[in-house]
């Protein structure tokens, strides 16, 4: 079985990963630093924005794919995936533009990401309960 709705969001997350990777590489080349960061807050923010995507996106995408495979409504998968992707974009944008400090986009991105993961968890549990409960 295929997961076409999740595939669209996985592609979007993949493109975001490449953009954030480019940001990190830019600073690594600028400072000739293969590992770690230096005192440049923008460099550190770029590394954390990239790392944070890697920390959250796979779990969200896996949950969406499982829900889609289990027959959860495509529209529910779509809106949850949209929240995940928009949340990750906002978080990265806020992290980079806020140089790692507080930023409204960063906070909104965190909340949207958490909401997407919570909704995906509820959808998975509801689906299992409907089938096996």
Distances (CA, A) of 21 to 72, 95, 127: 33, 14, 36
Please state whether the predicted TM-score (pTM) of the whole model is above 0.75: yes
Chain centroid to CA 1: how far?
24
The DSSP annotation for 21-48 comes to HHHHHHHHHHHT-SSS--S-HHHHHHHH
How far apart CA 72 and CA 123 sit, in angstroms, is 7
* C-alpha Rg value of the chain to the nearest Å: 17
- In CATH, the architecture of 4-31+43-127 is Up-down Bundle (1.20)
13-64 pLDDT, tens digit each: 999 999 999 999 999 999 999 999 999 999 999 999 999 999 999 999 999 9
Sign of CA dihedral 109, 115, 118, 122: negative
| pLDDT at residue 133, rounded to an integer | 82
The residue ranges of every structural domain in the chain are 4-31+43-127
Strand, helix or coil for residue 1: coil
């Amino acid at each position: 079985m295929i997961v076409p709705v999740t595939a669209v969001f996985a592609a979007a997350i993949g493109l975001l990963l490449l953009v954030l990777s480019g940001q990190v590489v830019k600073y690594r080349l600028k400072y000739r630093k293969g590992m770690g960061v230096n005192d440049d807050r923008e460099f550190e923010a770029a590394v954390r924005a990239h790392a944070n995507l890697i920390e959250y996106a796979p779990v969200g995408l896996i949950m969406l794919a499982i829900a889609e495979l289990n027959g959860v409504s495509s529209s529910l998968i779509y809106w949850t995936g949209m929240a995940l992707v928009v949340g990750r974009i906002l978080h990265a944008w806020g992290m980079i533009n806020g140089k790692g400090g507080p930023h409204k986009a960063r906070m909104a991105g965190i909340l949207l990401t958490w909401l997407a993961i919570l909704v995906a968890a509820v959808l998975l549990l509801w689906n299992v309960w409907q089938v096996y409960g």
